[in-house]
Amino acid sequence: MRQEELQKLTEQISRDYFHRPFLHMVKINHRMRTTGGRYHLDDHHIEINAYFLEAKNQKYLVGIIKHELCHYHLHLMGLGYQHKDRDFKILLNRVGGSRYAPDIGLRRRKKYKYLYVCENCRLKYPRMRRINTIRYRCGKCKGRLRLARTF
């Protein structure tokens, strides 16, 4: 889906479900990883995660657009537009928008290099960097830590 098609889809959803026009821009953001979309308070444009524009993930797109349009319209009307606000929850439920963006496998996993283990209680401490085992102890039982594995 291209920028123009996304703009038309957003304007149509705004007219059909909110009965109000969408007068600003919708942009595609290729760097988003953890969220489906974002509404900007300063210039009122909406950004949509590019991965939800792919054919296999388009089933979630309308729900994400409805979610961001709830922020948009409530903010412009001067009502509660944040996730915690009652106005937002009521409007989102009424139009059938998605509360959360589904996890489509974009989150990056942390790659630990070192695994330390307590000698007393066997509690594991995965770490990105090496630590000084003489200086640091187990937070649970104050036992000594030893390097068990390097990845």
Residue 45 is encoded by which pair of tokens? Answer: 């444009």
Give yes or no: 68 in active site.
Answer: yes
Packed helices 3-13 and 61-77: angle between N→C axes, nearest 10 degrees:
60
What does the DSSP assignment read for 62-110?
Answer: HHHHHHHHHHHHHHHHTS--STTSHHHHHHHHHHT--SS----S-SPPP
| Residue 86 to residue 90: CA distance in whole angstroms | 6
| Identified catalytic residue from 4, 5, 11, 68 | 68
Strand order across the 37-39 sheet: 26-29, 46-49, 37-39
Taking a C-beta distance cutoff of 8 angstroms, is the pair 46, 10 a contact? Answer: yes
Question: Which residues participate in catalysis according to the annotation?
Answer: 68
